[in-house]
Amino acid sequence: MKRRILGGTGISVSEYALGAMMFGALGNADHEDSVRIIHRALDAGINFVDTADIYSAGESEEIVGKALKGRRDDIVLATKAHFPMGDDPNHGGNSRRWITHEVENSLRRLGTDYIDLYQIHRPDPTTDVDETLSVLSDLVRAGKVRAVGSSTFPAEQIVEAQWVSERRGHVRFRSEQPPYSILARGVEAAVLPTARKYGMGVLSWGPLSAGWLTGRYTKASDIDLSGGRAAVEKHKFDPSLPDNARKLEAVGALAKLASDAGLSLPHMAIAFVRAHPAITSVIIGPRTMEHLEDLLAGSEVELSEDVLDRIDEIVPPGTDLNRADNYYVPPSLADKSLRRR
C-alpha cells in the first residue's frame, strides 16, 4: 500500500483509509467480525483509520478501539465531532463546551489517550470558528490531539478558518474530508484547489457514491426505495427524479467504459478519485470482508489518460449530477428567513 504525507504534518498515511462508518448498528453489528475486517485492512498495509462519534452513536469508535489494542502506535487514528449526540442542543455543534466534553468521550470509546487527527464534521453557523479553533489548539497543546481537520466544509469556510488561525495564532486545519466521486465532482471547482493552496491533506469519502458505482444499479428497477439507505434518502436514489435519472444514465456509460478498459466499475471509480493530485487518501467503507477484499484488489489500479478523458466526457469536471450529493446545504439556502426581509 503506497503512502503519502498528510497535509505537511509529516504523518505518513496509506492511500486507502479505512472508514469505520459501517461498523456497528448502522452496518455490521457483529463486533468480532468488524474487528476481523479492521485487522485484515491493517495487515494489507492500511495504516489510516477514520471514524466519528456519531457513527452508530459511538459504537463504531468502540469497535475501532477494540481492534487497535496492541497496534495503536502503528496506526494513524482519525475521528470527528459535530453532530448531535443526544436531544440536548448543547450536546453537539462546534462550541468549546461541547468539543471539550466530547473529545473525552471519543478517547474513552477508542481506548486511547490521543487522537492523531481530530476533525470538525461540519460547519456550525452558531459558533464562531475562532471559538472552535481555540479549543482545538488547547487540545493539541494538551497532547490529546496531534492535528486537526475539517470535513465537508465549503471552500470559503476553509479559507476563513485558515485566515483566523493565522490572525489569532491558533493551530490550523491540516486536512479536509469532502465527498468526491465520479458522480459528485463539485469539489473539483473550489474545495480541492483551496486545500492544495493551503497545503492541506484531503481524505475523500464516498468514492462509490453511496452504492451507485458498485455495479449494483444498471436499470431503474434495480433501485429499491422500500428499504435501506434509498428509503431514507429517496431524493438521492429515486430514478423518476431528473437528477437521479442522469446518474443512472452516467452509470451505464461508466460501466461500459470500465468493461472496455478491463476493470470493474468500483475499481475504476476509486482509481479515478485517487488520481486527483489533491487527494491524500481515499476512504473506503466496507461492511463485510468480501467488500474489503474486492476493494483491496483494486488498490494498484492506475487509469490511462484516455480513460480519464472519457470519464470527463461522461461527467464533466466540477459537476454534481445530483446537488444533494455534496451533503452540505448552506444556512443561507436552508433557512428561508435568511433570504427574506
Residues marked active site are found at: 55
What residues form DSSP beta bridges with 88? none
Contact 137, 130 (CB under 8 A): no
Contact 238, 229 (CB under 8 A): no
Contact 108, 58 (CB under 8 A): no
Task: Characterise 289 by phi-psi region: left (phi > 0), alpha (psi -120 to 50), beta (else).
Answer: alpha
What residues form DSSP beta bridges with 177? 151
Calpha distance 275→174 (Å, rounded): 20
Q: Is 159 exposed, middle or buried (0-12, 13-18, 19+ CB in 10 A)?
A: middle
Please list, residue by residue across 305-332, b when 16 or more beta carbons sit within 10 angstroms of its beta carbon and e when fewer do.
Answer: eebeebbeebbeeebbbbeebbeeeeee
What residues form DSSP beta bridges with 23? 28
Contacts 24+ apart (CB under 8 A), 223-226: 223/248
